[in-house]
Structure 1
Amino acid sequence: MQKKFRSTGFFRIAPAALLALCFLQGCSVLRPSEEPSADEATETASTSGALAFTLDVRSENGSVARHLERHLEIQRFNRFPDLRDTEFNRLMAEAETNARSLLAALGYFNPQLSLHVEDTPAGSEAPRKVVIEVEPGAQSVVQSVNIGFAEPMNSDPQGQRQRARVERGWSLKQDDVFTQSDWDSAKNAGLRVLQRDRYPTARIESSQARVDADAEKVDLRIGYDPGEAYRFGALELQGNERYDAQGIRNIARIPTGTDYSEEALLDAQQRLASSGYFDAAFLMLDTENSDPQNATVIAQLREAKYQKVVFGVGLSTDAGPRLSIDHIHNKLWPLGWRAVSQIAVDAKSQQLATQWTAMPRESGWAWFTGAQLERAEVGDYTANSFMLTAGRTQSTGHIDRRYFLQYDFSRTEGSDTPGSSSSLLGSYSWTGRYFNNKTNPSSGYGVGWELGAGYTLTPEREPFLRGRARWLQFVPLGERNEAGRRSRLAVRAEAGAIVADSGTQMPLSLLFLTGGDTTVRGYAFESIGTRAFDDRLYGGRYLTVGSLEWQRPMTLFGNSSDWEHAVFVDAGSVSDDNAETSVYTGVGTGIRWRSPVGPLQADIAYGLKLEQFRLHLRMGFNF
């Protein structure tokens, strides 16, 4: 026996249409002299109290029974105590067809069904019971998969590579159990592979699941029509009046002339949205009125006002309660640069800072300058510091670059302190981020480094070198769960060094301290350093930090969730002499919630050196 099931657009819109129809008919009234229509019965059922019948689905397969009880259409009419026999008989006749359709969607194409009605004892919640006995049989499996593509994809070398990605990533493979939901997911996933790169107008031209119910086999056939291959053209701005149009295009950096990429379009949209010049930014490719080889990108923008003041209140386990006031000016006279100034106060520091940044050039490079005045607890000292910096910065794709000249001055308060010192430092930094997700990564890596050369200015003039490097990698482990997520290892390492004469006094802001939520858990923020002055905590010239963390998705009540469990070990040290290094180790466990803006983390860690527990809370992902 051969049966054919063809997917159509109707099944994608029918649930929404039914819901809308139900709302539109919410005021209908069932008249005693008329038999209820299906739609009228549905609405009146939600308001009636007494039960006309109950439904009992019996099967050795409990999941099948629960699925039918939840989705059978006859359930919609069980609260009509005056349901007429003719209407009830019609519902019973339709119930078998409905049950077979629901079972077919689960891959059971040859079930044995038995429907009958039983009278219930007096005093029961309903006068009768509809009983459906089900022997679903074996689930059908996929016998073959045929994926076809229309021209010009087959003759285009780049299109062939994309075709290979669709075939390689096809999720419903030979010998897999067939279900309608898996079939729909596989088709749509293949379509998304095409639409993400080069073929934004791709569509499913045809699809067919050919079922041999007797043999319990399904042959799948799908044809994709990729449409035209698109290339990025010029960026058209809509809604921009206050700010320099070319500067805005330089921020977006649409790769004109290259193949269309959804990722590149979303990255450009994110750069505009996070630039501070706009309250909203939405980018789309014009596929209706543009040449596919030079397709216009339309940016729909809602400009931000020139000035804005933001008040912030926060709490962290490292620095306690925090209050901040930010003032933002998007076109500050006389340079017209964007200026972000902040006053911030917490339990350990008071800070006044400002950062001015110009619109980027066509190359992506932008000038910046900034200043910071701070009074803070640094180790066992209270230090007053001042920093002035100026340079250029560039952010392209996954890579950030920056070179700058920086002046630092610091002075410690009280007697028996290192006193004051100052320096001038020229540095270059490079950061590459290659994660699969910008806010909640589960694989990939990031690497960054900074190298500078400078001179101390006071109390004496001495040359020095300063370098710092960091690395983070996520290593997936095991099989994916129902939500497509896997366990992973998060491996983190950081190292820093200052090379100078042993008697050279460095500004406190350039020395290294570690410990806290993002470094060595189990210890307070920047509580790991040297004991160079009167056995009091002070910054050091050499830094090493390492961390190994196992992250595992959690299952709640048998279902996948956005929660994860983590077990970790951190270690770090700060010293002035590598031969006299003391390693601080922390071990612990914690939970993670994958929020839309990044992971929310709560960790409890035990510092082996101090033999104490410490709670660490953190929000978001940064590298």
Structure 2
Amino acid sequence: MRRWAVAWLLGAACGLQAAAAQGLHIEADDEDVRSLLSSHLDLARALARPPAEGPLDELERQRLCAQAPQQARELMRIEGYYAPLRIELDCPTARLLVQVGTIARLRSVELLAPGVPDEQLARWREWLAETTLRPGRAFVRERWSDGKQAFLARLRAHGHPLARWGDTEARVDAATQAVDATLPLLPGPAVRIGEVRIEGLRHHDEDRVRALLGLAVDQPVSEALFIEAQQRLLRSQLFDSALVELDPESLEGERMAVRVRLRESPLQQLGLGLGWSNLSRGRLTLEHLHRRPANWPLRARTRLAWAQEAQTVEAELSTHPGAQQQRWLVAARWEREQGDEAPYSQGSLRLGQVRESPAHDRAIALEWLTSKQDRDTRSQALLLHLNPSWRRVDSVLLPTEGQSLSLQSAIGRAEARSPLTRQQGQLLRLQARWQSWWPLPKGRGLSARLEVGRVWAPAELEVPESLRFRVGGDESVRGYEHRALGPEGQGLNGREVGGRLMWSASLELQQPLPRWRGIDGLGLAAFVDAGQAAQRAADLRPAWGRGLGLRWRSPIGLLRADRAKGEKAWGGGWRLHISVGMAL
């Protein structure tokens, strides 16, 4: 008998140790409740501790078991269950049975704001109903807090930066599990802009910065107004950082001072780039930028790109942007391509104006260009350019949703001369580029691009090569060299020339990757490209490119590394394409 009792005690002790080793087994008819209790119930955490910490003391175990049912009831309120039907704990076997019952739901939500006009209060109640605090929603503690915070954030963004809640209350009807909420609001005054204080200026004129801000005294405060002002400052390319915010200590009546904190970009920057491709071999790029030459409010940029078969020299002088984000510019450019396909050299001079905004850009310019197609043939053109663009994207730097459309147009008169001939006539060139991004479940994304272009001019007119079309390369059809796709036939004087017609398209699917060595924003991409340039529409047969790539959503833009294969019939093959940023 004594041996049997000892064996039973040993068996029970082993069973308790096994139960402790296995942790607390929770049976609940709600997955969120089961997860919550497993993570936060003291008994569950104690039973799940590592074996290295030793077995759980029996007295401590009994104490935790006694507390567990009430603690479970308190925790379940977080998920909206205020009257569970059943909570049973079998301490020796470490099993907890939970029937959650009916979830509490909001029956009424009353927003109180004494002294606020009825029309304004009605609008605010509509805003509140758009949060998680509308009748019929489950009364979950996280949603209760999030809804109140979301409403306050919207109210503060629309001119009431001092808004706060009074003593909010939620009453749960024990019989029906219906919740009646009362939300007393202290909106504070409708604030207007007072003094604008600018900090951090060293080289640039304060008056020009104020004009760029576009903030006027007594203007109603809004978050959108401040965001637009910040974006204007950053798009000026004069500042590395800009922060526009209210000074909460400066309230006088309804006016509050605005503080603008700036960090100027370096006055001068020098950039050096080295590259290589199997077409142009080594490539050197040198770029210099001066943001205030001779202490004038101007921006001077010079760039030199030198490769074995292609050289470019360009200089641009532009004014600092004004209140409407407009700037004047004058630019000169010389370029030469010496490859077997469409060799040419060209010089141009351009005078124009650029206007930029978050959703719309516009550039208008008058350009004179001269082009040398071969040893004997020269072309000249005087063109008026109008290049608008529109975009509706969630981020200009790293878009994941939205679309953009850009148009390039040039109209004017061109002339071509050779020792034996002279042609001249009107010229019209149009090019359009559409892009779209669609977010997909699980962080995936789909993007598409379509680009078309055409030149209208007399058939006998030798159009300057830079106005013709060729496709292929990073932002076009991958799997081919830059501008490698074009007319198969010979142009005038027995030379290859670019086409008067062009199209290209792309479809890409992106799959996010988990964080790797502290780097976020990595992803894989699968893509298909197609396109062609030709003299006639009948010759626009597609050249295909397809492949896989690696993506990194870096702080400076999207870094893309693609391995693409083009068709051999069009001179394609396996090629590596690397680029940073995105053309919008």
Instruction: Evaluate the alpha carbon distance shift between residue 212 and residue 149 of structure 1 in structure 2; reply closer, same or farther with a 3 A threshold.
Output: closer
1:89–1:149 Cα change, 3 Å: same
1:464, distance to aligned residue in structure 2 (A): 1.4
Q: Say whether 1:514 aligns with 2:471.
A: yes
Counterpart in the other structure of 1:426: 384
> Contact 2:246 / 2:256 at 8 angstroms: preserved in 1?
yes
Question: Which residue of 334, 342, 359 corresponds with 2:303?
Answer: 342
Aligned to 1:584: 543
The Cα of 1:306 is off from its aligned counterpart by 2.7
C-alpha spacing 1:116/1:596, structure 2 compared with 1 (3 Å): farther
Aligned CA distance change for structure 1 residues 166 and 218 (closer, same or farther; 3 Å): closer
**Match for 1:429: what amino acid?**
N
Q: Secondary structure at the match of 2:24?
A: strand
1:164 correspondence with 2:126: yes
Evaluate the alpha carbon distance shift between residue 503 and residue 237 of structure 1 in structure 2; reply closer, same or farther with a 3 A threshold.
Answer: same
Give the match for residue 114 of structure 1.
89
Relative to the length of structure 2, the TM-score reads 0.77
TM-score (norm 1): 0.72
Asked whether the equivalents of residues 327 and 353 of structure 2 are also in contact (C-alpha less than 8 Å), the reply is yes
Q: Contact 1:601–1:617 at 8 Å: present in 2 too?
A: yes
1:266 to 220, 227, 234: 227
Distance 1:322 1:207 in 2: 67
- Using the TM superposition, give the Cα deviation of residue 451 of structure 1 relative to its aligned residue in structure 2, in angstroms: 2.6
Answering whether residue 395 of structure 2 is matched by residue 450 of structure 1, we say no
8 Å CA contact 1:208, 1:222 repeated in 2: yes
Find the residue that maps to 1:251 and give its secondary structure.
Answer: helix
Change (3 A) 1:475 1:310: closer
C-alpha distance in 2, partners of 1:173/1:313? Answer: 59
Query: Cα distance, 1:621 vs. partner?
Result: 3.7
Q: Hey, what's the Cα distance between the residues in 1 that align with 2:102 and 2:508?
A: 40
| Pair 1:181-2:142 in alignment | yes
Change in Cα spacing, 1:279 to 1:474, as seen in structure 2 (3 Å) is closer
Which of the numbers 447, 450, 455 marks the counterpart of 1:493?
Answer: 450
Q: Distance in 2 between matches of 1:379 and 1:296?
A: 64
Distance (whole Å) between structure 1 residues aligned to residue 233 and residue 550 of structure 2: 33
SS at the partner of 2:250?
coil
Paired position in structure 2 for 1:466: 429
Unaligned runs of 5+ in 1: 1-52, 119-130
Q: CA deviation at 1:58?
A: 0.9
Structure 2 CA distance for aligned equivalents of residues 235 and 433 of structure 1: 31
One of 379, 396, 418 as aligned partner of 1:438: 396
Classify 1:88/1:602 alpha carbon distance in 2 versus 1 (closer, same or farther; 3 Å).
same
- Partner SS, residue 483 of structure 2: coil
Question: Superposition pairs for residues 271-310 of structure 1, below 5 Å?
Answer: 271-290=232-251, 295-310=256-271
Residue 59 (1) aligns with residue 26 (2): yes
Q: In terms of mean alpha carbon deviation, does 588-597 or 220-229 score higher? A: 588-597
Residue 241 of structure 1: aligned partner: 202
Query: Matches of 1:392 and 1:385 in 2, distance apart?
Result: 23
Who is 2:39 aligned against?
70
The CA distance in 1 between the partners of 2:280 and 2:141, in whole Å, is 53
- The 8 Å contact of residues 344 and 352 in structure 1, kept in 2 or not, is answered as yes
User: SS at 2:148's partner residue?
Assistant: helix
User: Aligned partner of 2:409: which letter?
Assistant: L
Distance 1:381 1:489 in 2: 35
Instruction: Find the aligned partners of 1:305 and 1:551 in 2 and give their Cα distance.
Output: 36
| Partner SS, residue 361 of structure 2 | strand
- Structure 2: which amino acid aligns with 1:456? A
Measured in 2, the distance between the counterparts of 1:295 and 1:348 equals: 61
CA distance in 2, matches of 1:516, 1:141: 59
Change (3 A) 1:180 1:456: same
Query: What is the CA-CA distance between 1:284 and the residue it aligns to?
Result: 0.8
What is the CA distance between 1:332 and its match in structure 2? 0.7
Does the residue aligned with 1:59 lie in a helix, a strand or coil? Answer: strand
Task: Check the 8 A contact 2:325/2:356 in 1, yes or no.
Answer: yes
- Residue by residue over 1:575-611, the C-alpha shift from the partner in whole angstroms, topping out at 9 and shown as x without a partner, is 2233443233445666655555544455565656758
Q: Would you say the 8 A contact 2:416–2:461 is kept in 1?
A: no
* Pairwise CA distance, 1:229: 2.9
Counterpart Cα distance in 2 of 1:537 and 1:66: 69
Question: How far apart are the structure 1 equivalents of 2:310 and 2:240?
Answer: 31
- For residues 108-141 of structure 1, give each alpha carbon's deviation from its aligned partner in whole angstroms, at most 9, with x where no partner exists: 44261527368xxxxxxxxxxxx46242524625
SS at structure 2 position matched to 1:333: helix
Structure 1 57/150 Cα, relative in aligned 2: closer, same or farther at 3 Å? same
- Residue 342 of structure 1 contacts residue 353 of structure 1 at CA under 8 Å; is this kept in 2? yes
Q: Residue 336 and residue 475 in structure 1: after superposition, are their counterparts in 2 closer, same or farther (change >3 A)?
A: closer
Q: Separation in 2 of the partners of 1:368 and 1:117?
A: 83
Shift of 1:469: 2.4
Residue equivalent to 1:124: none
CA contact (8 A) 2:342 2:465 kept: no
AA aligned to 1:385 is Q
| Equivalent residue for 2:321, pick from 341, 352, 360 | 360
Q: Deviations over 1:68-127 (max 9, x none)?
A: 443445748968769998887766666655544333323344261527368xxxxxxxxx
Q: Cα 1:186–1:458, aligned 2, differ >3 Å: closer, same or farther?
A: same
SS across alignment from 1:462: strand
* More deviation, 348-357/83-92: 83-92
Contact in 2 for aligned 1:140/1:213 (Cα 8 Å): no
1:104 aligned residue:
77
User: How far apart, CA to CA, are the structure 2 residues paired with 1:375 and 1:76?
Assistant: 75
Retained in 2: the 8 A contact 1:527–1:537? no
Question: Hey, what's the Cα distance between the residues in 1 that align with 2:114 and 2:400?
Answer: 36
Within 5 A, what are the aligned runs for 1:315-354? Answer: 324-333=285-294, 335-345=296-306, 349-354=310-315
CA distance in structure 2 between the partners assigned to 1:183 and 1:230 by the alignment: 27
**Partner residue in 1 for 2:9:** none
Q: Distance in 2 between matches of 1:299 and 1:513?
A: 47
Contact 2:168–2:183 under 8 Å retained in 1: yes
* CA distance in structure 2 between the aligned counterparts of 1:551 and 1:98, rounded to whole angstroms: 45
Aligned to 1:530, which of 466, 487, 498? 487
Aligned length in residues: 544
Paired with 2:77 and 2:460, the residues of 1 have a C-alpha distance of 81
- Structure 1 Cα separation of the partners of residues 398 and 110 of structure 2: 33
Q: What are the within-5 Å matches in structure 2 for residues 567-578 of structure 1?
A: 569-578=528-537
Q: Is the 8 A contact 1:55 1:69 kept in 2?
A: no
> What RMSD in Å do the two structures reach over aligned CA positions?
4.3
Closer, same or farther: CA 394–185 of 1 in aligned 2, 3 Å = same
Residue equivalent to 1:135 = 98
Q: CA deviation at 1:394?
A: 1.7
Q: Is the 8 A contact 2:27 2:96 kept in 1?
A: no
Whether the 8 Å CA contact 1:514–1:526 is kept in 2: the answer is: yes
Compute the displacement of 1:442 (Å): 3.6
Contact 1:56/1:69, CA 8 A, preserved across alignment: no
Whether the 8 Å CA contact 2:65–2:89 is kept in 1: the answer is no
CA distance in 1 between counterparts of 2:105 and 2:281 reads 58
For 1:543, which of 502, 511, 526 is the aligned residue? Answer: 502
Identity %: 28
Give the Cα–Cα distance (whole angstroms) in 2 for the partners of residues 60 and 544 of structure 1. 61
CA contact (8 A) 2:383 2:413 kept: yes
| 1:587 and 1:605 in contact (8 A); partners too | yes
Measured against aligned partners, the alpha-carbon deviations of 1:391-430 in whole angstroms (never above 9, x if no partner) come to 12222342222211223334357xxx88543322221222
